[in-house]
């Protein structure tokens, strides 16, 4: 008999393979373009995670969670965007911010596009994908 935790892990791995999502932290280039004179410091989105597990994906239909965004250049005017929609964002440091994601936003399997927009600078990071996996239905 396979234990519940082992089976859950197996199902998530299979679900991730089927949806083309990746587990663990996701990394990407970042940036955007700055205007004006002189060198602009641009925010760069490097990792995504879920509290309390720290994973970079969730199972569709589960409850809401706090999304952790790691990177560089974040300011108090940085806003996490979920598929282009601004989320209420809490500034931690120049390297981490977080925002709540509601259960409705992860009700269906798929992939969400996550960016960070700096409202003062008018810049947006490159997008990272956040996986929303489905669990197979029991027989």
pLDDT at 35 over 60: no
CA 86, CA 119: separation in Å to the nearest integer? 11
80-117 tens-digit pLDDT: 999 999 999 999 999 999 999 999 999 999 999 999 99
C-alpha pair distances (Å), 19 with each of 16, 32, 59, 121: 5, 28, 11, 35
What is the spatial distance between Cα 101 and Cα 57, in angstroms, rounded to a whole number? Answer: 12
Q: Is the pLDDT at 128 greater than 50, yes or no?
A: yes
Question: Chain-wide mean pLDDT for the chain?
Answer: 72
Q: Selecting from 3.40.1190.20, 2.60.40.10, 2.70.98.10, 2.130.10.10, what CATH number does the domain 23-133 have?
A: 2.60.40.10
- Per the omega criterion (within 30 degrees of 0), is the bond before 39 cis? no
The model's pTM is 0.67
Query: Distance (Å, rounded) from C-alpha 31 to C-alpha 10?
Result: 35
52 pLDDT band, cuts 50/70/90, is low
Predicted confidence at residue 45, as pLDDT, reads 80
| Domain ranges for the chain | 23-133
């Amino acid at each position: 008999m396979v234990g519940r935790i082992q089976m859950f892990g197996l199902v998530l791995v299979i679900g991730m393979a089927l949806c083309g999502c990746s587990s663990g932290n996701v990394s990407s280039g970042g940036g955007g373009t700055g205007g004006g004179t002189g060198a602009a410091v641009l925010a760069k989105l490097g990792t995504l995670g879920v509290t309390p597990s720290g994973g970079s994906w969730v199972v569709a239909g589960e409850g809401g969670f706090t999304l952790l965004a790691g990177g560089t250049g974040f300011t108090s005017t940085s806003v996490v965007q979920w598929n282009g929609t601004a989320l209420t964002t809490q500034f931690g440091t120049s390297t981490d911010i977080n925002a709540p994601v509601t259960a409705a936003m992860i009700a269906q399997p798929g992939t969400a596009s996550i960016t960070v927009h700096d409202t003062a600078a008018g810049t947006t990071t490159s997008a990272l994908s956040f996986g929303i996996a489905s669990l197979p239905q029991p027989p």
